[in-house]
A and B are shown apart, each in its own frame.
Chain A
Amino acid sequence: MIAEAGHYALVLALALALIQSTVPIAGARWGDAALMNVARSTALAQLLFVAVSFTALVMLHVSSDFSVVNVFENSHSTKPLIYKITGVWGNHEGSMLLWVAILALFGGLVAAFGNNLPLSLRAHVLAVQAWIAAAFYLFILVTSNPFLRIATPPIEGRDLNPVLQDIGLAVHPPMLYLGYVGFSISFSFAVAALLEGRIDAAWARWVRPWTLVAWIFLTLGIAMGSYWAYYELGWGGWWFWDPVENASLMPWLAGTALLHSAVVMEKRNALKVWTILLSILTFSLSLLGTFLVRSGVLTSVHAFATDPTRGVFILLILCLFIGGSLTLYAWRASALKQGGLFAPISREGALVLNNLFLTTACATVFIGTLYPLALEVLTSDKISVGAPFFNLTFGPLFVPLMMAMSFGPLLAWKRGDLLAAAQRLTAAGIAALVTIAVVYAWTYGGSTFAPLAIGLAIFVIGGAVTDLAERTALFRVPFATAMQRARGLPRSTWGTSFAHAGIGVALIGIICETTWNSEYIGTLKPSDVAKVAGYELKLDGVTQRQGPNFREMIAQFTVSLDGEKLSVMTPSKRNFTTRGSSTTEAALLTRGASQLYISLGETTNEGAVAVRIYHKPLVLLIWWGPILMAFGGMLSLSDRRLRVGAPKPAKASRALQAAE
């Protein structure tokens, strides 16, 4: 019964989405407020029904109802409860249901909190949102129904892919989807603006908080996924430039550009047409990511069992929405009033530079990700584009971006003074140079690139601190006054500084980890000692243990530094009987921001075990950086200005409707 109820609720959600995608638009054309208000109630009802459908699938998984194909294929009665719940989206059908559930959630939020939006804009936004929703409901119902039954129910399920039986699955996909799908709101706003033929600074102010929410979640989602790969895959790698990772990085880059261009639009009423295009591109890249991961054109841990019809269906959705929105853009963008041009040396000029580099960097990732696919289709040559390609293209483009990042916030709107900004950055510059010298001397004979990169990171962090110090007039006025000023600063200013500093922090982590990573790979017998980066790791012994749905081989290591015992580490290897596959559970020992990392390989006949031990200096900074960035985003989101709501759109813009 539960499965049928869930299925039925999804069909009802589709019906509601179809109403929501047409009636409000008709209402807006005829100026009928009642019809436009239909969007609000249908969006809320849609959220309700999708929630029912999703809850139904969760209940089926929790109660291990193996008469449902989806549960049979991805669950097992002995699986711990948390993985029964997270396993709901650990498969293709369930993850698509999560996707539409989050889409409906965002639609519901716009409906519930969009009271200060002009009625016709809200109607249009929710209608566009419903087009996307309807397409994906159809996709689920036609090709990926999670509620299908098996005629003769088996007694036991096939269990979830062991790699996914981890707490990471509870956090990473929902976060990432909140990010991906959150960009649908800015897309809907952009298409609505094109349909209405009207856009102004108020529009940017409405769009910005939604974009910021999506960006925060995407940032955290990517960082979480990276940390998960780092500890779960047993290789100690945290970013592989895998197409699936790139698929999440591209919307992030475009979304970051969008956040910045929306600022220009809000403050200076310029870059309107560009901001609209970025909104469309960001969500298009999210859709592309969904296509790459869900269609089966790629093989990775993210691609669950695949079926060609699904790929074709998603490709159709992709073409329809990207093609449709870009056509609409080409047709209508000229009707939008252009904003003014401005001086290159100014805050808005710096933001344009940011956009230029971010979108170009995004384009290189796009080429590196899709070129192998295109080449295979055209010439059937198979190639792989790996880390070297991205290091050579993406890296150089990020260097000027990071240099400019410190200057941007110090420049005034309209006309900035580069020399004055440079003078204010003297302290940051000196700190960077000192760091370069110290690191270079300390690691003399090693890499020359690493000290320079760390210097750049220090410059970025220093720039963020300088911005705050300048605004609070720290060191120029009494300390108490400066603190008072600090409290009075807009939260978005704090947000900018945290987010920018986060980039610098992450860069330090990345450089330290890749340059000074030390490793030991070999076989150890009990009471053998491995030495890595000054630490001594003694293998005490290997024991076996039975887990709920796996057998586990646990090795115990005693870690000591300079003869002093620090801790005990217990990496393990789990063997999942149902799927006959094993996973490596790495053991991590955190020392400050650095980590010791042990993962196990096979055991040999003589009782020795193959181990991989890494010492990763300052590796945790790689993830603290994004956390700082997300924290900055949250601070900015809590800014009073965004809560107060946007001003009423300028009356003058009415005249633009004549352009229709």
Chain B
Amino acid sequence: MTRKQRRLTMIGGSLAVLAVAAALVLNAMRDSIVFFSTPSMAAEKQIPTGKRFRLGGLVQPGSLVRGDNLAVNFSVADGAATLPVSYKGILPDLFREGQGVVAEGALDASGVFKADTVLAKHDETYMPKDVADALKKQGHWKDDYGAKPGASAASAPAQGVTK
């Protein structure tokens, strides 16, 4: 092979790999990206049933109901709207009524958000960043959310069990 041919092989090979990678990325971008919404954004955007998204907001105090076989129902609120959520499984350690939560799933035909994942990605103030930002934008942010995690958290589990 001449020098020129070698160079062309190298450049051609690299471009081919990059093209394949770009195609993979674009394809994955189309199918596997999940948007984030609060209950009021979800109502506004008319998200179709079955389309996956991430729902964020505060767990409505007093809304947590535990059924049989680890079925859990609760509502997520953002001050303007609420959305009922159903989930089956064990809630993360950091799940609290009145605190922030992010759930991933889709709406079913009756308008209930079927979550398959409830995320525990909080920092120590119990407020997921996405939720905090969304609440701030809608003007429902109070500075005392998460300011005293210890005080509010201590009473929350007791409510959860008795309900």
**Residues of A in contact with B (beta carbons under 8 Å apart):** 161, 233-234, 242, 298-301, 303-306, 341-344, 352-353, 356-357, 360-361, 363-364, 367-368, 371, 381-386, 388-389, 392-393, 396-397, 521-523, 573, 578-584, 601-605, 610, 612
Contacts and interface: CB of A to CB of B under 8 A. Distances in A.
19 contacts: A161-B124, A299-B122, A299-B129, A301-B121, A343-B6, A356-B13, A381-B35, A384-B54, A392-B24, A392-B32, A393-B25, A396-B20, A521-B70, A573-B93, A578-B150, A583-B93, A602-B90, A602-B160, A605-B162
Question: Interface SS of chain B: helix, strand, loop or mixed?
Answer: helix
A342 B6 contact: yes
A296 to B, nearest CB: 8
A581 B153 contact: yes
Interface string B13-28: 1100110110011011
Contacts of B129: 298-299
B161 A389 contact: no
Nearest to A376: B133
Given A343-B1, A601-B91, A604-B66, A360 B27 contact: no
A350 to B, nearest CB: 12
Contacts of A353: 13
Interface of B: 1, 3, 6-7, 9-10, 13-14, 17-18, 20-21, 24-25, 27-29, 31-36, 54, 66, 69-70, 89-91, 93-94, 120-125, 128-130, 133-134, 149-151, 153-154, 157, 160-162
B28 A389 contact: yes
A384 B34 contact: yes
A579 B122 CA distance: 14
Indicate the member of B31, B34, B120, B130 with the most A CB atoms within 10 Å: B34
Given A299-B128, A357-B17, A602 B161 contact: yes
A488 B71 CA distance: 64
A580 B149 contact: yes
Given A521-B70, A578-B150, A364 B7 contact: no
Contact of B149 (A300, A352, A521, A581): A581
Contacts of A368: 25
A356 B93 contact: no
Q: Which residue of A304, A389, A580, A601 has the most chain B CB atoms within 10 A of its CB atom?
A: A580
A601 B90 contact: yes
A384 B24 contact: no
A149 B90 CA distance: 42
Contacts of B122: 299
Given A581-B93, A605-B161, 5 more contacts: A305-B125, A341-B3, A364-B25, A389-B33, A580-B154
Contact of A341 (B6, B89, B90): B6
A392 B124 contact: no
Given A382-B36, A383-B34, A393 B7 contact: no
Contact of B18 (A360, A371, A381, A521): A360
Nearest to B152: A580
A299 B93 contact: no
Nearest to B32: A388
Nearest to B18: A360
Contact of B28 (A361, A388, A578): A388
